[in-house]
A and B are shown apart, each in its own frame.
Chain A
Amino acid sequence: MTFWSDMLENTLATVRLLPPLVAVVDDDAGVRGSLDSLLRSEGMRTQPFASARELMQSPLLEEISCVVTDLNMPETDGLALQVWLSERKSISPPIILITAYPTCQARQRALEGGAAAFLTKPVDPDTLLEAIARTLQI
């Protein structure tokens, strides 16, 4: 009985088209949490990750529609994550890079690598949400 009702529920959810899943990657718990809250306030579905590696190993990877990531992170940084995503076989989700230390070099590398946006911390909510909305429409 419950099996069938769960099944029905799942199917309905898919049919109803859940809001797209946005990944938030930042090694700083405070920043990560605040971005997560901001996106959810706009009705988005989010999944926070404390490192690029966590995202790479996530079972949700295929479901992600957009990645918002910090640039400066230990081990794998935002640019490396971008490269990794674009080198996979499946289509890469659009990526938005955020940094507190914007350098021309990093900006250039990000945009050449196909980043949807390159933003500076603290991010202006409207700019970020707009950028995400743009990526999701395509």
Chain B
Amino acid sequence: MSDEDNGEYRKGHFFILLAIGLALGICTLDILSPLQGAVAVLYTSVIVLVGLTHRQAPIVMAAAGCASLAIAGYCASHWGAPLGSPAMRLGVSLVALMITTVLVLRQLREVEERERADARYRTIFAAGGFPIWESDWSGAHGLLHKGHPIDACTVELAFAAAFVKNANLAAACLFGFERREDLVGRSLLELATPATSEALVRIYEALMHGASSVEEETRFVSRTGREFDILLQVTIPPDHDGWKRILIMGADITERKRAQERLAAAQIELAHISRVTILGELAASIAHEVNQPLTATITYARSAARWLAREAPDAHEVSECLSAITANAERAAQVIARIRDLARNSDVRHAQISLSTLIAETLELVQREMTTKGVTLTLNIESDLPPVTGDKVQLQQVLLNLLINARQAMLDTPEERRHLTVRAFRKAEKHIAVEVHDTGHGLAAGQDNLFTPFFTTKRDGMGMGFAICRTIMGQHEGSIEARSNAKGGATFVFVLPMKTDHVHGGSEGLVPQH
């Protein structure tokens, strides 16, 4: 038995002795006093006193004892007397005694219930496998509520003023300590990384805006030097008393993050392979795009030589030839630069992009591929389309995929009915849709797994085209979908949000770069 329990026990004895004394006193008063009042009602105070022991048996015994004393008191004074107001007073006293007992017992049960719950939560807190800790952020509360701006400087001060009040073993282990006690009392500032302060800015902002619970991903470095990603759940309990008690739960998501990073890298690699494959397929078309301006350049050069060689050399014609040479050579260089961008395995770079230019440049690459297969191309682009934000190469890849799929789908269509229509238009105020409409074999019924990786109906298809398109659209907050046309063929639409002029207000650099 612990000291604490022992003390409780002795206190209980003391209360019981006191209660017995009190009861005997009341009994004496009841019998000897000439008072005509319901003295026995005073027995209720005995019950309350015994209630302080927080134990059920003494309370019940006290109730029984007091009732017996009250009855004995009545008998001693009024035995043999006819029933009258004294008997009535006894009755009232007994009822009061009973009610008090019931109330005290009920309170006792509530206290026990609460204690059990507390114990249960303490067990969960201490033994739970996931890290939980309680911090005192009253320093931060003071700073922020004094109107300090939520900037890097304030955050650092606020962070330094915060400390861990309580923590479980899992939390201690997470931060690289062996015992709970090593973490308790510390500030986590010494274990922070730059990402931590960024997350704190967002947490403080959310809390200052009235949130009572915030979730943030961030990164700490443990005392042993291991960097880890953590998902924090910061909760302000109702009785926080100026952020004195903030409950924080953390989940180690390092592995998940690593897996996500590996997945992203694999996706980029796959997209690259697919792009290079497409370029291979388009080799003839691309060669044509480069060949045309080269042919023009050569012919203009020879023509210029002839204009010069005439009896009366024509300076005007020669100069026309020269500027045409420059223009055509530049055109060839541009086509090559575009191909090089597509072939390069470059990092994703988001920039402002004009979809109409993107469509025109992409069509240039497949143009010949289409004409040689007898496909007629119709272009229908809404005027003054606002720009979108995105990675040019990736968006071009999506469009290329759709165009090549459409061409492949039309191989069995009679030549005179091979029509490909590319449309771009505003959709629902804030979006731009790009639609590729073909007259091919269309989608087979129930083909809703088009977008799953490796789904293909082609003999030499890899089935990655759409899977990649969808990943790319996901990274652009866009969407892509397919439908069958009423008159045969299929239509593929991808939708992108328009670029908004809204720039993340001043907190650039703190926002994680995706």
- A residues with a Cβ closer than 8 A to B are 28, 30-31, 33-35, 37-38, 40-42, 72-75, 100-101, 121-123, 125
Q: In the assembled complex, which residues on chain A have CB atoms less than 8 Å from the CB atom of B324?
A: 30, 33-34, 37
A38 touches B306 (CB 8 A): yes
Q: Is B179 interfacial (CB-CB < 8 Å)?
A: no
B296 touches A33 (CB 8 A): yes
Q: How many whole Å from A77's CB to the nearest CB in chain B?
A: 8
A71 CB to nearest chain B CB (Å): 11
19 contacts between A and B (CB under 8 A): A28-B292, A30-B293, A30-B295, A31-B295, A31-B299, A33-B300, A33-B324, A34-B297, A34-B298, A34-B299, A34-B303, A34-B321, A37-B303, A37-B317, A40-B317, A41-B317, A73-B371, A101-B288, A122-B299
A121 CB contacts on chain B under 8 angstroms: 291, 295
A-B complex: 7 closest residue pairs judged by Cβ atoms: A30-B296, A34-B299, A41-B306, A38-B303, A37-B303, A122-B295, A122-B298
- A37 vs B288: C-alpha distance when bound (angstroms): 22
* A125 cross-chain contacts in B, Cβ below 8 A: 299, 302-303, 306
B310 within 8 A of A: yes
Query: How far in angstroms is the closest Cβ of chain B from A19?
Result: 14
- Identity of the chain B residue whose Cβ is nearest the Cβ of A120 in the assembled complex: B295
Cβ-closest chain A residue relative to B294: A122
Which residue in A38, A100, A101 is a CB contact (below 8 Å) of B302?
A: A38
Q: Which A residues touch B320, using CB under 8 A?
A: 37
Instruction: List, in ascending order, chain B residues with CB within 8 A of A123's CB.
Output: 295, 299
A-contact 0/1 string along B287-319, CB 8 Å cutoff: 010011111111110111011001000100100
Which residues of chain A are within 8 angstroms of B377 by Cβ–Cβ distance?
74
Q: Which of A28, A37, A72, A123 has the most CB of B within 10 A?
A: A37
A72-B372 CB under 8 A given contacts A37-B321, A125-B299 = yes
Mark out the residues of chain B between 10 and 26 whose CB falls within 8 Å of any chain A CB in the assembled complex. none
The residues of A that contact B299 with a CB separation of less than 8 Å are: 31, 34-35, 37-38, 122-123, 125
Once the chains are docked, how many angstroms separate the CA of A28 from the CA of B297? 12
| Chain B, residue nearest A32 (CB) | B296
C-alpha gap A28/B310 in the complex (Å) = 27
Interface contacts beyond A30-B331, A122-B298: sample of 8 additional A-B pairs, CB < 8 Å, sorted by A: A34-B300, A34-B328, A37-B300, A38-B302, A72-B288, A72-B372, A74-B376, A125-B302
State A41–B314 Cα separation when bound (angstroms). Answer: 9
Closest to A42 in B: B306
The answer for the CA separation of A32 and B302 in the assembled complex, in Å, is 14
Shortest beta-carbon distance from A13 to chain B in Å: 21
Chain A residues whose C-beta falls within 8 Å of the C-beta of B288 in the assembled complex:
72, 100-101
Q: How far is the CA of A128 from the CA of B414 in the complex (A)?
A: 36
B327 near A30 with CB under 8 A, answer yes
Residue of A34, A74, A100 with most partner-chain B CB within 10 A: A34
Contact residues in A for B321 (Cβ distance below 8 Å) = 34, 37
Considering the chains assembled together, what is the distance between the CA atoms of A37 and B317 in angstroms?
8
Inside 8 A of A31's CB, which chain B residues have their CB? 292, 295-296, 299
Give A37 to B321 CA distance when docked, in angstroms.
8
The answer for the CA separation of A106 and B291 in the assembled complex, in Å, is 19
Taking a contact as CB atoms under 8 Å apart, the answer to whether B291 and A100 are in contact is yes
CB-CB under 8 A from A37, the residues of chain B are 299-300, 303-304, 307, 317, 320-321, 324
Bound complex: CA A92 to CA B71 (Å): 140
Within B28-60, the residues touching A (CB, 8 Å) are none
Q: How far is the CA of A96 from the CA of B324 in the complex (A)?
A: 24
CB distance from B61 to the nearest CB of A (A): 107
Q: Judging by beta carbons under 8 Å apart, are B310 and A41 in contact?
A: yes
Nearest A residue to B367, CB-CB: A74
> Given the complex of chains A and B, what is the CA–CA distance between A40 and B383 in angstroms?
39
CB distance from B18 to the nearest CB of A (A): 109
Contacting pair A75 B376 (CB below 8 A): yes
Residues of A within 8 A of B376 (CB): 74-75
- Kindly list chain A residues whose C-beta atoms are within 8 Å of the C-beta of B317: 37, 40-41
Chain B residues within 8 Å of A38, by CB: 299, 302-303, 306
Tell me, in angstroms, the Cα distance from A37 to B302 when the chains sit together: 10
In the complex, chain B residues 368-399 whose Cβ is within 8 Å of any chain A Cβ: 368, 371-372, 376-377
A30 to B295, CA, bound (A): 8
Q: Which residue of chain A is the closest to B296 with respect to CB atoms?
A: A30
The reply to whether A34 and B371 contact each other, CB–CB distance below 8 Å, is no
Least CB distance from A3 to B in Å reads 32
Query: Using Cβ atoms and an 8 Å threshold, which residues of chain A touch B303?
Result: 34, 37-38, 41, 125
State the CA gap A55–B358 with chains docked (Å): 32
B421 to chain A, nearest CB (A): 15
- Least distance between A26 CB and chain B CB atoms (Å): 9
CA distance A12 to B291 in the complex (A): 44
Which of B299, B302, B303, B328 gathers most chain A CB within 10 Å?
B299
What mask results when residues 478 to 504 of chain B are scored 1 for a CB within 8 Å of chain A, else 0?
Answer: 000000000000000000000000000
Are A41 and B295 interface neighbours, CB within 8 A?
Answer: no
Report chain A residues within 8 Å CB of B304.
37
Q: Could you tell me the distance in whole angstroms from the C-beta of A55 to the nearest C-beta in chain B?
A: 18
Contacts of A101 in B (CB 8 A): 288
Q: Which A residues lie within 8 Å of B297 (CB)?
A: 30, 34
- Chain B contacts for A28, CB-based, 8 A: 292, 296
Q: Min CB distance, B329 to chain A, in Å?
A: 10
Q: How many angstroms between the C-alpha atoms of A20 and B106 in the bound complex?
A: 119
Query: In whole Å, how far is B184's beta carbon from the nearest beta carbon of chain A?
Result: 77
Cβ distance B506 to chain A, nearest Cβ, rounded Å: 49
Closest A residue to B310 by CB, please name it: A41
CA distance A31 to B299 in the complex (A): 8
Shortest beta-carbon distance, A102 to chain B, in Å?
Answer: 13
Query: How distant is the Cα of A1 from the Cα of B137 in the complex, in angstroms?
Result: 103
